[in-house]
Structures are given as structure tokens and as C-alpha cells.
Amino acid sequence: MAIKSSAARDAARPSLTLTRRLNAAPAKVYAAWTDPEKIARWFGPSQVRAGSVHADIEARVGGRFRISLDMEDGQHHEVGGVYRELVPNERLVFSWAWHSTPERESLVTVSLKPDGDGTLLTLHHEQFFDQAARDSHESGWIGSLDKLEKYVA
């Protein structure tokens, strides 16, 4: 039986990429990702109970973040990770793990590029545990990006 290297395993794990044009400058979009008061206003899928998002963010390389939220059905969730790269107004890279499954760490890269008077945001989330995790995150990220688009407009 062949044993896969961790790099080969990671390459075989599901990922997703979403792109969105936002009607806001990259600086405003970057601040929406790195300021705890701002991220609490838009983060989470559409089923998040209004006003329930709380964020602790230490936006520096090696800094941690933790975001908690309550769903309309009463479920409580917390996600957190460590910032691996921050380029103001251009790029954020951070690990991602839900408190209920900390062993299922994945990686998120958010890239921001000026696009006329707006921003082209590309979110790449990789190294999912399985296809089901990838699919549920896709739905959650689409809901979050819908809310971010309205928040920064």
C-alpha cells in the first residue's frame, strides 16, 4: 500500500474559489475583513441571527482571530485561525478551523485588486476535509459575500 505525502494529500483535498466585484475601494474592503466591529456587521451565511456575530481579531502575521455566531435555528458556531500573511488592501491568508472540529484545519486566501472605482475580491478556500465540508462552506461564503457586498456599498 502506497503512503501519500502530506503535500499530495493536501493537493487532493477539495477547494473552492469565489470571485466578487464590490463597489468599494480595496482599503474599505480590507478594513471590513480586519476590523472586529466591521466584520461582525456582515460575516456569516444568510441564516445567521442578526446581531449575534462577535469577533476577536489580531490582524498581524501570527495573530489569531475567533468569530462566534448564532444561527436562526439556535445553533452556536465558532471559527478561528491564525493569520499567515497580511498585505494591507491586497491580501489576507489565514488558517480556518471550527471549534467543533479543530483537527479539520483549512486555508483561506482573500485577494483584493482595484477594479475601476471598486474592488475585485477573490476568495480561495482550500484543503477541506471532504467534499461535504467544501459544499457547506461554499454556501456559507456566498451568503457572507452577499452581505459584505451590501455592507461596503
Q: Which fold has domain 15-152?
A: Alpha-D-Glucose-1,6-Bisphosphate; Chain A, domain 4 (3.30.530)
Q: 100-126, pLDDT tens digit by residue? A: 999 999 999 999 999 999 999 999 999
Query: What are the residues facing 65 on neighbouring strands?
Result: 57, 81
What pLDDT score does 76 carry?
97
| Torsion 41-22-106-1 (CA) sign | positive
Q: Where are the alpha helices (DSSP H) in the chain?
A: 6-12, 26-34, 36-42, 131-152
92-107 burial code (b ≥16 CB/10 A, e <16): bbbbbbbeeeeeeebb
Smallest CA-to-CA distance from 145 within 122, 115, 127, 126 is with: 122
Q: Examine the pLDDT at 7 and tell me if it is beyond 90.
A: no
CB 150 within 8 A of CB 20: no
Q: Examine the pLDDT at 39 and tell me if it is beyond 90.
A: yes
Q: Examine the pLDDT at 10 and tell me if it is beyond 60.
A: no
Percentage, residues of the chain above pLDDT 70: 93
In angstroms, rounded to a whole number, what is the distance separating the alpha carbons of residues 137 and 149? 18
Is the pTM higher than 0.75? The answer reads yes
What pLDDT score does 12 carry?
81
In angstroms, rounded to a whole number, what is the distance separating the alpha carbons of residues 144 and 110? 13
Across residues 121-138, what is the average pLDDT?
97
Query: What are the residues facing 97 on neighbouring strands?
Result: 80
